[in-house]
Amino acid sequence: MASTEGLVPITRAFLASYYDQHPFTPPLSPDVSRLSSHLRSMATDLLTQHPPIHGESILINEAESHPPHKIDQNMWKNREYIEETIFLLQPSNFPDPFKQQSNPDYDQFSIVLAKLKDKLHNTLTTLESFQIKNADHVFNTVMTYLPQDFRGTLLRQQRERSERNKQAEVDALVNSGGSIRDRYALLWKQQMDRRRQLAQLGSATGVYKTLVKYLVGVPEVLLDFTRQINDDDGPMEEQRHRYGPPLYSLTSMILYVRFFLSLSWARYGLKKL
């Protein structure tokens, strides 16, 4: 068990001093913004020439909205858009007129799409790995401040059991025919459940707070931090301020890739693309 001596409140100012040591480098390429604008312009042209069809209102509303502000929600949305784009880039999901083409230009286009799909798949794997490692790091960091006895063992077992139940819930949704969007809606709901549990732990009062603090061993500063973890103006807002803008730009870019590709596939044959 790590010593709690010297622990200070985890405030926004404290996080700011920490993030000063970890600037976002290198800066995001200006090509990201340029590509996003170009894709959105082309999508607008498609909608002007061929009005929205059934089922496209959700896509349009998302394209007109700002990316989620919270970092973890933004990452989940990023993964969702990437996975939906990969789905569209599967050859079996190409429009029938496109699959029936056979000439050098279309063959070359297919190669380009295959390379894009591979890059997106690698990006998705990297993002998934980052989220898993980050969650494990946070949990293990908290555990270092808890007694390394039966209490710590019980907490680890409870977490493992909870995660197995969550995965079973996701598997059941997929096996019942749930869409990619449905699956990520469930994944985000599960993430919010985790956050709410942390916030409730930090908001404990009276006898229960005493039990949490002294019997379980959770330091006061961690309790205060978890209580504010979901707050829009809490300490985590500093993280969103520092690292949010480049992530929001990347999420917008993959959103516009998926948006344009969805519109294009639906209109293929109506207009030469």
Range of the domain at 257: 31-267
Mean pLDDT of 139-168: 80
Helices (H) and strands (E) in the chain, counts: 11, 0
Assess whether pLDDT exceeds 80 at residue 123.
yes
77 within some domain: yes
14 within some domain: no
- What is the three-class DSSP state of 204? coil
- Distance CA(79)–CA(254), nearest Å, equals 9
pLDDT tens digits, 81-120: 999 999 999 998 988 877 777 777 778 888 999 999 999 9
7 within some domain: no
Picking from 181, 168, 190, the residue whose alpha carbon sits closest to that of residue 72 is 190
According to DSSP, residue 71 is labeled: H
204 within some domain: yes
Place of tokens 């197995």: 164
Least confident of 15-24, 131-140, 195-204: 195-204
State the angle between helix axes of 180-202 and 220-227 in degrees (0 to 180), rounded to the nearest 10: 140
Band of pLDDT at residue 271, cut at 50, 70 and 90: very low
8 within some domain: no
17 within some domain: no
Mean pLDDT of 152-180: 91
Picking from 52, 29, 31, the residue whose alpha carbon sits closest to that of residue 263 is 52
Of the chain, the end-to-end C-alpha distance in Å amounts to 62
Least confident of 6-20, 82-96, 100-114, 127-141: 100-114
Assess whether pLDDT exceeds 70 at residue 15.
yes
- What is the three-class DSSP state of 28? coil
Question: Number of folded domains in the chain?
Answer: 1
Mean pLDDT of 34-42: 97
Residues contacting 195, CB < 8 A, separation 6+: 229, 230
11 within some domain: no
272 within some domain: no
